[in-house]
Structures are given as C-alpha cells and as structure tokens.
Structure 1
Amino acid sequence: MSLKKQALSGVFWSIIQLFGNLLINFGISLILARLLLPSEFGLIAMLGVFIGIGSTLISSGLTSSLIRTPKVDDLDYSTVFHFNLVGSIIIYLVFYFGAPFIAAFYDQESLINILRVYCITFIINAFSAVQSTRLTKMLDFKTQAKISIPSLLLGGIVGVMMAFNGFGVWSLVASAVVQSLAGSMQLWYYSKWKPQWAFDVTKFKHHFNFGVKIMLSSILDTIFSNAYTLIIGKFFAPAQVGFYNRASTLRMLPVTSISSIVTKVSYPLFAAIQDDDVRLKSVYKRIMQMVIFLVAPILILMAVLAEPLFRFLYTEKWLPAVPYFQILAFGAIMTPIHIYNLQILNVKGRSDLFLRLEIIKKILAVVVITISFQFGIFGLLYGSIFSSLASFFINTHYSGKFLNYSAWQQTKDLLPIIALAALAGAVVYFLDNFMVQQLYNDFTRLSTGSVVGVMTFLISAYLLKMNSLEELIDIIKRK
C-alpha cells in the first residue's frame, strides 16, 4: 500500500474511532453531569496536573522515539517496554506516598484515596504503551478503533452505574480505571506482540536521549496546561474548578478529537518524508489547513450557542460555566497549529529545540498568569488567549526555518478559513438572538443554529473554492 493510501486509510479509521468515541462520550458525560455535582468533577480536575505528570514520566518520550526511528526491532520495543513498566511502578509509589501532601495543598482530605486509586492507571497504561505504539507506527488505526470504542463504552457504563447508586466522585475514578484496563487487555490481544526478556543499554540510550527532551517538554506543557486548574483549585471552591473544567473539557473536545485523528496519521507520515523538505512542507500545509477547516467553525458555533448547549446537555446547574467556555473556545482555535509546528521539530530529531521553545513559552506563561491572576478567573481566561497567540509566533520560529514556511505565511493560509468560520458564527448569532431565541426551546435553537452555521460555512468555502473542502470531499469519496 502506498504512503498516500496508508494515510487515507488511517484518516478513515481514525474518523470511525473519533465519532464512536464522541457518541459514547456524549452519552456518558450527559448522564454523569446530570447525576453528579460540579464540585465532584472539580475534585478530579484538581488532580489533572499530577496525573498528567505521572503519565508523561512513564512514557519518557521513548514511544515517540520508536515512531520516528526508521528501523526498530523487537529489542527496541522490549527495551522501552521494560523501562516503562518499571518506571510506572516507581512513579505510582511516589504518588501513593505523596498523596497526603497534595491533598493538604488543596485542603481536600478526600483527594488522598482518590489519587491513590486513580494512579493505578499509570501501571495499566505502561503495560500496553508499546503495543499501541507499534500499531501507530504501522498506521494500523483500524485495530486501534476496535480497541478504543469498546474500552470507552465499558468504562462509561461502570461510571454511570456507580453514579446511579450514589458513589459520587468514585464513579469517575472507576470509569477511568476500567477503561484503561479494558484497553490494555485488548491491545495485548490484538497487537500479537509480546516483549522479550531482554534490555539493551545502547538502544535505551538512543531512545532516551531523544525522548528525555520530549519528556521534559511534555512535563512543562502539562504543568502549564493545568496551571489554571491548579490556581483555581487552590484559591476557589471545588465547584468553580468543576465549572472551569467542564468548560475547558467541552471546548477541547473537537480540538483534541480532530487533532488526534490527524496527529496519529501525520506524525508517522511526517517521519517517513522527514528528509524531503519540499514534500514535507506541502503535506504539513495541507494537513494544518484541513484541521483548522474542521475545528474553527465547530468552536465558533459552539461559543455562539453556548447557553442553550450547556443547558440542554448538562442542565441549569452548569450555566455558570458558559462565559468560561465562550472565552476558552476562541483561544482553542490556535491549539492544532501549535501541535503541528512542534511536530516538525520532532520528526527532524530536534527535541532540543522543542524543549527550548517550551521553556520560553512557560516563562511567558508565568508572567501572564502573574499579571492576569490579579483580575480573578476572567483575567486568567483572557490571559490564556494572549499566551496562545504569543505561542504561535514562538512555535513557528524554528519550524518556519526548517520548511521555509514563516508565521506570516501560515497566517495568510489559515486566516481565510478562520474568517469564514467567524462569518458563519455572526450569522448564527444574529439569527439566534433576534429571531429563534424568543420563539423556540434549546433543542430547536441548537438545531437551527448548527444547520445554518454549517451551511453558511460550507457554501462560502465552496464559492471561494477552498482546497480544504475539495480534499475533504475527496477523502469521503475514496471511502
């Protein structure tokens, strides 16, 4: 199968996985948000930074090294497997004994046992990380879809059943553990790969030297991605953390879902053509435009229809999260651009530059947070948008040089798409506020706004003959 056919097949099966996961997540989050309190979601959100750091330490970036290394064998995979597994046990013990200190930081004693149980997922996920990496390297996203959807469904069912029976926050903990366990078991079954009882120091050094920089970059990113939750959790009530987390989670749902489809395909694809800068730039540009073409209109329409969206999905008790969501949604449009610019550094083997950029961005983030915190939660939210815009120019510095594709050129290629999405949002805003809102219920408002917004965006893109629309149609026709 040619590289292009592999990529198209990967996109197709990743889309199957995406929509399967979206439908399941939609149903589960809808039920759990109605059964549980915002404060209970807030308790889990408080642990996000610590869970994220633990997950990053386990992989140490070695799995990324396996994907980008052209030729790897069983000894490479086995070496990384044993290191990840032993590392996950050590990290779990660190968090187990450190849980009381984390709980004391938030002044929430219940977090001790929650963290100790939740972090079992570290060991479970490390047990199957290499199997998942092998499937990604082979562009076998069909198998990953067959694994992901049942795992999510089983974890969700367990969580909902426990929530119905009054287990509160433990419903969320159990759901995560069951999902990880189900996924790990299936990866072992479907991957048909078993580790050797072997560990090669030379191969470990090769992967670690690349991966450790990715690990440090990811830790920094995890800390600062969760910095707002950390600060809100420290100085505000758990319910406020819950509102912020619900808003952040919902705005990242289309970004993470769509980006993860393309990222799983693009990283091994970029790695395969890493030495052909002309072709790499062409593929990179098309992928980035495609992702923004999908993400921008969804986020803008969700922001415009945020009030009926939250009330319809989560009931009235979640409405305080609406203004948080509207601010965060506009900032999230930039997220895919950050991801793909940094991917170029990885496939070029320049994880040192990756780390350097992360350090620069985090210094900027500290300054922004320090200033914006003085203006409360909304100051923090607007500050995050400023950080996102500034990070775009920082991220494009080196990738732009490698590909001869500067921040200004990228802006010119992406701005028309974002402008069309804004136009669609303006049309829906006018329609909803001056016509539909006074006459119809939330479901009708959402349905009408979505149809009008999507049609406005697609018709405009068709009239302007946008390449992203043509490529999207081509992908659909091929499958």
Structure 2
Amino acid sequence: MFIISELFSIVVYIVIYLMAPSIANFYNNNDLTLIVRVFALKLPLSAFNAIQQAYVSKKMLFKKIFISTTASAIISGCIGIVLAYMGFGIWALIMQYILNTVIVSIALFVQLDWRPEWKFSWSSGKPLLNYGWKVLMTSILGAFFNQLRTLLLGKAYTPAELAYYNRGQKFPELLSQNIDGTISTVLFPAMSAYNDDLEKIKLLVRKSIKVSTFIIMPLMFGMAATAKPIILILLTDKWIESVPYMQYLCIAGAFGTISNTNMQAISAIGRSDILLNLELIKKPIYLLLLVVGLKISVLAVAYTMTIYSVCSALLNMSPNRKLLSYKFKE
C-alpha cells in the first residue's frame, strides 16, 4: 500500500503541476502557478505519512502521534511566524504546511519500527485495493465538493465575503476536527478489532455518539450563542461580519459527529461500497443546496450547508438500521 499510495500521489502531483497555469488563469492570478506547484509537493509527502498514521492507528500507539504532531506544530509554526515577519508572505504559510508534514513523518520514522521495503505482492494488495478504492473515491468526492464551495464563492463574490465565510467556519471546524477527529481516530481501529461482532460494534457506536455529542453539542450551540463576543475579543471588530456565518456553521458542525461515527462503523465492518453509495446520494443534494445558496448570498450558502448537515446525518445513520440493527429511535 505504501508503494501504491506513493505512485498514486506522484501521478496526482503531475496532473496538478500541469493544471497549475489553468488554475491561475481561472482566478486571473499568474502568481498561483508557482504557488500551486510548490504547495502540491505536500501530496507525496503526505502519502508517506498516511502509511505511518495507519500503522500507528492499527497498533493504537496514539502517544507517538501526540509527540510527533505536537513537535511538528510547534517547530513549523515558529518557522512560519519567523518567515512571515521576514516578509515572505504567502510562502511563509506554504513552508509551514510542508514542514509540518515533513517533521511529523521524521518524528514517526524515528519512533516506529515500521520501515518501507521495496517489495510488492499483488495477491496481498488486491483485497486492500478492492476495499480502499471505494474509500478513496468517497474521500475525493467529499474533498472535491468541500473545495468546490470555496472555489465558487471565490468566483461569484468578493475575496472579502469569502474571507468572512472562511473565518466564520474556522472556529466550529477547529472544535469538530480536534474533538470529533480524535474520537474517530481511536474508534475506527477499536471497531475494526470486532468487525465480526456486530453487537459489540453497535455498543461502541452508541457509546461514541453519547460521549462526542455530550461534548460537541453544548460547545457548538454555546459558541453559536456567543459568536459575537468571541469574534470581537479574538479577531476585533474588523471581522464582525463573520458572526452570522459562524453561528450557522456551528449548528451545521453540531451534527457532524453523528455522521462521522456512523460512517466509521460502516467502514470498520468492511462495507466501503455503502460509503461510496452514500456519497453518490448526498452530493447531488449538496450541489443543489449550494447552487440555491449561491443564487441568493454568501450567508445563504452557510444556511443551506446547515440544512445539508442535518440531511447528511440522517442519511449516514440509515444503513446501520440494517447492518447493526441500530434504529433511528435508539
């Protein structure tokens, strides 16, 4: 899988490298050509790191992830700040992102006993690919449509309006990624260990939803209620127009944990085909709501994304009614 993921990431990098001038033309900004080509170097670096992360997750060695990510965040963050003060502008951010990935990979390489070997077994890779390509397509569809929203907002409205939207999204995104993301990271290998015991997986899903919603729901709704003072204190009144975006997107983020936990369960029992089918059902709904929102205003996009979040949670719950006998009422 290491060899396959590296080769695939290199192919994707070449495609992005060739598309960079077209991307720059789309935004009428020639500087983007070099920026995209350099930033895309993160792809082959991340592919290496992805195998390390998978190894750590399977072995439940989360202390090693904590050490490596903390070290990389501090070091790359400090370097990024120094470069910004030295006047490197956007390149300070790009270097920070790339260095973060490099440092995490080096830290895990030192701590782990896993080393890449230039061996390849098609018989070993085939079942993994049969499972993995559906997970990959699910991830690509999710990432594409999430980025499509920013792309269309940036094209249809002013950079300032896009900035207000993105800033309003950052706070709920920060909470959901760190809390829900952490729970999901531990939950998947835990459920995978019991992939033949559906009753055990059901209990794990219920426990996870109880814990995560108990934490995330109050935080998200509390943040929505106090969005204005949070923005004023942390970002000053220059970003006051981000408040309504933050409020809607906090409500949207509150339902994300239910979606993610149910999808982790489906993935853990090996039904990646269901994950892909769910995306193929959800994304036309997403696109319809996005187009409707774009026709009205940037704020309307935030509102329609809240509606989509609720719809997505219901759809992601539905397969587990049969797979795990986990009813909506439960």
> 2:83 aligns to what?
162
> 2:16 aligns to what?
95
State the 1:241 CA deviation: 2.1
| TM-score w.r.t. length of structure 1 | 0.67
State the 1:165 CA deviation: 2.1
Provide the C-alpha distance between the structure 2 equivalents of 1:351 and 1:86, rounded to a whole number of angstroms: 22
> 2:309 aligns to what?
388
Alignment of 1:320-331 (within 5 A): 320-331=241-252
Q: Which amino acid aligns with 1:149?
A: T
1:300 corresponds to 2:224: no
Alignment of 1:172-321 (within 5 A): 172-321=93-242
**SS of aligned partner of 2:319:** helix
Provide the C-alpha distance between the structure 2 equivalents of 1:96 and 1:319, rounded to a whole number of angstroms: 38
C-alpha distance after superposition, 1:188-215 (max 9, x if no partner): 1111211222111111211111000011
**Where in structure 2 are there 5+ consecutive unaligned residues?**
none
Provide the C-alpha distance between the structure 2 equivalents of 1:390 and 1:267, rounded to a whole number of angstroms: 23
State the 1:407 CA deviation: 2.3
State the 1:254 CA deviation: 0.9
Q: Tell whether the 8 Å contact from 1:338 to 1:391 is kept in structure 2 after alignment.
A: yes
State the 1:168 CA deviation: 2.0
Q: Percent identity?
A: 30
Larger radius of gyration: 1
**SS of aligned partner of 1:255:** helix
**SS of aligned partner of 2:252:** helix
**SS of aligned partner of 2:21:** helix
**SS of aligned partner of 1:405:** coil
Q: Which amino acid aligns with 1:202?
A: S
Provide the C-alpha distance between the structure 2 equivalents of 1:194 and 1:148, rounded to a whole number of angstroms: 19
> 1:9 aligns to what?
none
From 337, 344, 351, the equivalent of 2:265 is 344
> 1:110 aligns to what?
31
Provide the C-alpha distance between the structure 1 equivalents of 2:241 and 2:293, rounded to a whole number of angstroms: 20
C-alpha distance after superposition, 1:247-297 (max 9, x if no partner): 212111111101121111100111111222222211210111100111111
Provide the C-alpha distance between the structure 2 equivalents of 1:192 and 1:306, rounded to a whole number of angstroms: 46
From 271, 288, 292, the equivalent of 1:367 is 288
The CA RMSD over aligned residues, in Å, is 1.4
- Indicate the structure whose relative CO is greater, using CA pairs within 8 Å and at least 6 residues apart: 1
Alignment of 1:47-126 (within 5 A): 80-126=1-47
**SS of aligned partner of 1:404:** coil
**SS of aligned partner of 2:238:** helix
**SS of aligned partner of 2:329:** helix
Provide the C-alpha distance between the structure 2 equivalents of 1:107 and 1:335, rounded to a whole number of angstroms: 35
Q: Which amino acid aligns with 1:239?
A: A
Q: Tell whether the 8 Å contact from 1:299 to 1:329 is kept in structure 2 after alignment.
A: yes
Provide the C-alpha distance between the structure 2 equivalents of 1:191 and 1:98, rounded to a whole number of angstroms: 37
Q: Tell whether the 8 Å contact from 2:153 to 2:294 is kept in structure 1 after alignment.
A: no
Q: Tell whether the 8 Å contact from 1:267 to 1:343 is kept in structure 2 after alignment.
A: yes
State the 1:377 CA deviation: 0.8
State the 1:370 CA deviation: 2.3
Q: Tell whether the 8 Å contact from 1:342 to 1:399 is kept in structure 2 after alignment.
A: no
State the 1:106 CA deviation: 2.2
Q: Which amino acid aligns with 1:140?
A: L
Provide the C-alpha distance between the structure 1 equivalents of 2:135 and 2:48, rounded to a whole number of angstroms: 20
Question: How many residues are treated as equivalent by the alignment?
Answer: 330
Provide the C-alpha distance between the structure 2 equivalents of 1:113 and 1:311, rounded to a whole number of angstroms: 36
State the 1:224 CA deviation: 1.8
> 1:135 aligns to what?
56
Provide the C-alpha distance between the structure 2 equivalents of 1:406 and 1:330, rounded to a whole number of angstroms: 24
1:145 corresponds to 2:145: no
Structure 1 residues 169, 240: closer, same or farther in 2, change over 3 A? farther
Provide the C-alpha distance between the structure 2 equivalents of 1:181 and 1:316, rounded to a whole number of angstroms: 37
Q: Which amino acid aligns with 2:215?
A: L
Q: Which amino acid aligns with 2:111?
A: Y
Provide the C-alpha distance between the structure 2 equivalents of 1:163 and 1:224, rounded to a whole number of angstroms: 31
